Structures are given as structure tokens and as C-alpha cells.
Structure 1
Amino acid sequence: MSSPGDVPADILDRLRHLCRTLPESYEEPAWIGMRWRIRTRTFAHVYSPDTDRHPLYARYGCGDEGPVVMTFRVPVDDLLGLTADGFPYFRADWGHNVVVAVLDERTDWTEVTELVTDSYRLMAPKFLAARLPLLS
């Protein structure tokens, strides 16, 4: 059984590969799990929530393993469209534009790439965000 905060290596590897391509981003341990930042602003945070403290996530675990979630930022105009259907995206209970994504074997990693890149664009200085190619 994993502990709260633990993230499977395959998920960390995918996110590391993605975030490494974003200008001046860096990875650091967070209070739980791992986060990626640009300057002092977090644009992605991945962790396994403590389902005793946050029972909402308990239904997304698999067997003895709890769920793995990632938080990221979205433009406020996109918030409702992304979270309206529920799983795998939910509005976080903090921040005005923070979304929680459940990461599992059904995860669309192409979509995660776009969402993390957009989150980076929102949090990065404009000159760094401008270095990124526009996604189609």
C-alpha cells in the first residue's frame, strides 16, 4: 500500500519528461508529492491524496492503492468546460482556477501535455511563455 504523497515512477517519469521541455521550469518536492515550478509559481503538482482526510478521492483508487492526482491551472474561461463532466477533472476546493485531474491507466497523456503546457503559460513570465510553440 502506498503512503499519501507517493507517486508511481511511471507517472513521475512522464511528467518529468514533459516539464523538462518548458523553459526555466524546475522540479521540487512539495509538502506532499512533487511539483513543477516556474520561478516561484507552481504550474503542476502531483501526489496521492490521503483518502482518510479527503474521502472524495477514495473511489478513484485501485485495490489497496490510492489514486494519483495532479493539480494545475486553467484559464478561468475554460474552467467550467473542463470540469463540467466530472471524472477525470474536478475543480479544486482552493484557488480560483485550479483543476484536479485523476491520473490512471485511462489518462490521455496528449491532453495532459496540453493542460500542463497551458498551466505553464499562465504562470510563467510572458517572455518565457512566448517561447513555446502554439499547440494545435
Structure 2
Amino acid sequence: MSAPADVPPEFLDRLRPICRGLPDAYEEPAWVGIRWRVRKRTFAHVLIVDPDHQMAYARAAATDEPTCVLTFRAPVDEVHALVAGGYPFYKPDWGADVLGMVLDDGVDWAEVGELLTESYCRLAPKKLAAQVSRPTPADR
């Protein structure tokens, strides 16, 4: 496992309040980077993709240099729509509902909050998901 220090602290400082604010969500080190889970199901994973070590991630993110990425779950139609819009979104080769996003200085943190909340609600038990307020499509 890698140390949390591998992910820039400014990104962790923005992601932690979003993820930890969800019912029964918890943070733990992943095989590389940090992940947030609900009932042993990962709803967000942030890591530095190094093409020399995480080749599948680097190919998916179309990067040839170390890059900070976030993966999460989304409805398949939303995955296709966001990927069609291009950068910062990309489609990893695993899981039809898995979406990747490159994190950089231009991140829209409000959008990240919405996407991670939706990811959480897709994986959380219905009782926990019902406790989360989510914007309606009309609010977006």
C-alpha cells in the first residue's frame, strides 16, 4: 500500500469533508492512494497514477506522466455523457459504471461533491442513501 502522502494534501483536504460527511462512510489506505467506503464497498478512490506502476490507470487516463486521478461510480448514461465531454473525465476499462476524473488546479469541487454523493448513494444500503440530500436533475 502507498502512503496517503502520495496524494497531494490539498486534494485530500477537499475530498475528506465530502466523503466523510456521508453516513457510515470511512476512509482507508487502498493498494495505492486512499479510498472511501460504505459497508466495504468503495465509492471513491484517489491516487497518483504513475505510468511505470499503474499502467492500466495511466492508459485509461491517457497520461504518460504522474497524474492525480479520482475514480467513482455513476449511472452508465452519465458515464457516457461525461466521457463524451472529454477532459477531465475518462472511462477506465473495468466496470460499466466506473468513471475516472483527472484532478488538477481547475477542478470544479461542487461537481466533485455531487458526483461522489451520487457514487455513495449507488453503493450504500437504501436506508443510508435515503439520509443523503441530493440535488435533483433540475438543480444541476
Show the counterpart of 1:46: 46
Pick one of 53, 63, 68 that aligns with 1:57: 63
Identity of aligned residues (%): 50
Show the counterpart of 2:117: 117
**Deviations along 1:34-57, whole A, 9 cap, x unmatched?**
000000100000000122233522
2:49 matches 1:29: no
Residues in 2 aligned to 1:77 and 1:93: alpha-carbon distance in whole angstroms: 16
Counterpart of 1:28, as a letter, is E
The DSSP-based 3-state class of the residue aligned with 1:110 is: helix
RMSD: 1.6
Show the counterpart of 1:68: 68
Larger helix proportion of the pair: 2
Counterpart of 2:26, as a letter, is Y
Displacement of 1:134:
2.3
Show the counterpart of 1:82: 82
**Deviations along 1:52-101, whole A, 9 cap, x unmatched?**
2335222xx5xxxx210000000112121111022100111111110110
Counterpart of 1:78, as a letter, is E
The DSSP-based 3-state class of the residue aligned with 1:113 is: helix
The DSSP-based 3-state class of the residue aligned with 1:57 is: coil
Residues in 2 aligned to 1:37 and 1:98: alpha-carbon distance in whole angstroms: 15
**Which 4+ stretches in 1 moved above 6 angstroms?**
none
Show the counterpart of 2:100: 100
Residues in 1 aligned to 2:35 and 2:63: alpha-carbon distance in whole angstroms: 19
Residues in 2 aligned to 1:134 and 1:68: alpha-carbon distance in whole angstroms: 26
Displacement of 1:7:
0.3
**Deviations along 1:2-33, whole A, 9 cap, x unmatched?**
x9x81000101111111111000000000000
Show the counterpart of 1:132: 132
Report the number of matched residues: 127
> Any stretches of 5+ residues in structure 2 without a counterpart?
none
Give TM-score, length-normalised by structure 2: 0.85
